[in-house]
A and B are shown apart, each in its own frame.
Chain A
Amino acid sequence: NAGVTQTPKFRILKIGQSMTLQCAQDMNHNYMYWYRQDPGMGLKLIYYSVGAGITDKGEVPNGYNVSRSTTEDFPLRLELAAPSQTSVYFCAARRGESIAGHYGYTFGSGTRLTVV
Chain B
Amino acid sequence: AQSVTQPDIHITVSEGASLELRCNYSYGATPYLFWYVQSPGQGLQLLLKYFSGDTLVQGIKGFEAEFKRSQSSFNLRKPSVHWSDAAEYFCAVGDRGSTLGRLYFGRGTQLTVWP
Contact = CB atoms under 8 A, between A and B. Distances in A.
A60 B9 CA distance: 23
A40 interface: yes
A90 B107 contact: no
B42 interface: yes
Contact of A42 (B42, B45, B108): B108
Interface residues of B, number: 24
B96 A109 contact: no
A50 B100 contact: yes
A6 B58 CA distance: 30
Contacts, number: 62
Interface residues of A, number: 28
A100 B41 CA distance: 28
A58 B102 contact: yes
A109 B7 CA distance: 26
Contacts of A31: 100-101
Interface in B60-115: 90, 94, 96, 99-103, 105-108
B43 A110 contact: yes
A102 B101 contact: yes
A109 B34 CA distance: 19
Interface string A64-94: 0000000000000000000000000010101
Nearest to B45: A107
Contacts of B105: 35, 42-44
